[in-house]
Amino acid sequence: MTGTEASGSGRLTTHVLDTANGRPASGIRIELFRLADGRREPLVTTETNEDGRCDQPLLSGEDFSAGSYELLFHVADYFQANGAAQPEPAFLNVVPIRFGVSRAGEHYHVPLLISPYGYSTYRGS
């Protein structure tokens, strides 16, 4: 098996940290899409828990395969619900992260660090 095939042991996870307030970001709606042939295939819609994580992997096992993906994090709703002063429209509304999976047998962790005016991400462990 090559690194680009699904092995059944890989998984995709995420979490969100509110760096402006120094805490996990709970209640953020997250949408996951698979990107192929100019299309976005919806896969999962979920929400972060009290720890800023999802209760289960976004994808795992045979459902997790090599390819291109997009995560959409609905951050403006989170900041509004938590009383953050924001302009209208909010500077950050939905944060998209597009990333590639080359080895579906591995753990891909895509965290998001947010504030009302900035964000960052990386491939975590």
Please classify residue 22 by burial: count the beta carbons closer than 10 Å to its beta carbon, then call 0-12 exposed, 13-18 middle and 19+ buried. Answer: exposed
Looking at domain 11-121, its CATH class is mainly beta
pLDDT digit string (tens) for 97-118? 999 999 999 999 999 999 999 9
Look up residue 9 and give its amino acid. S
pLDDT digit string (tens) for 18-73? 999 999 999 999 999 999 999 999 999 999 999 999 999 999 999 999 999 999 99
pLDDT reported for residue 32: 98
Model confidence at 3, in pLDDT bands (50, 70, 90)?
very low
Give the residue extent of every domain in the chain: 11-121
Cα–Cα dist 30/45, whole Å: 6
Distances (CA, A) of 122 to 13, 16, 71: 12, 12, 13
pLDDT reported for residue 125: 85
pLDDT reported for residue 8: 63
